[in-house]
Amino acid sequence: MSGGALVGIVLVSHSAGVAGSVAELARGIAAGGAVAPVAPAGGTADGGLGTSAELITAAASAVDRGAGVALLVDLGSSVLTVKALLEDEELPAGSRLVDAPFLEGAVAAVITASAGAPLEAVVAAAEEAYAYRKA
C-alpha cells in the first residue's frame, strides 16, 4: 500500500448508461465515509453501443492513485479490449482485469476499496460475488 491511497475502480460496459448507473449504484451503497474513485467507461467514444479503448484508458488514469486499478467488464469486446490493453501495458501499473459479475462485483469492489483494502482484497471481494447463489 502506498500511503493509504485507495484502489481505483473502472467499470467497462457496452453501454454508457449501464456503466454510469452501476457506478452510481456502487458509490451510493459504499457511501458513508470516503468512497474509492470509480469511473465508468461505457459504450463507444461517439455514444454508441460497444467498447472504447480510449474511454477505458482515460478512466483508468482518472482513478489511479498509485494503489492499483481494478477493471470490471461486461461482455465480449469489453473483456477482450481490456485484455489487449493490459497485454500492451497501456493501463496504469497495477491494473487488473477482475473476473466477476459486473454489477455485484462492482458493488463489492467499491465497498472494499472504499474501506482502504489493497488491490488483492478488492479483486477477491469482487470475485466472491460469483459464489452468492440467488436461488
Partner 1 sequence: MRDAEFFRHWLEAAAAAVEREADRLTELDSPIGDADHGANLLRGFTAVRTALAGADPADAPGALLQLAGRTLISTVGGASGPLYGTLLRRTGKELGEASEVSDEELRAALDAGVDAVARLGGAAPGDKTMLDALVPGVAALGTSYRAAGDAAEGGALATVPILARKGRASYLGERSVGHQDPGATSAALLLGALADTAEGTA
Binding site for partner 1 (CB under 8 A): 44, 48-54, 76-77, 80-81, 83-85, 87-88
Least distance between partner 1 and beta carbon 105 (Å): 19
CB of 31 or CB of 49, closer to partner 1: 49
Least distance between partner 1 and beta carbon 100 (Å): 17
Cell output for 114: 472504499
CB of 50 or CB of 66, closer to partner 1: 50
Least distance between partner 1 and beta carbon 7 (Å): 24
CB of 28 or CB of 76, closer to partner 1: 76
CB of 78 or CB of 112, closer to partner 1: 78
Q: What DSSP string runs through 71-130?
A: EEE-SHHHHHHHHHHHHTT-S-TTEEE--S-HHHHHHHHHHHHHTT--HHHHHHHHHHGG
Angstrom distance (rounded) from CA 124 to CA 112: 9
CB-neighbour burial class of residue 132 (10 A; exposed 0-12, middle 13-18, buried 19+): exposed
Cell output for 24: 452510481
Least distance between partner 1 and beta carbon 37 (Å): 23
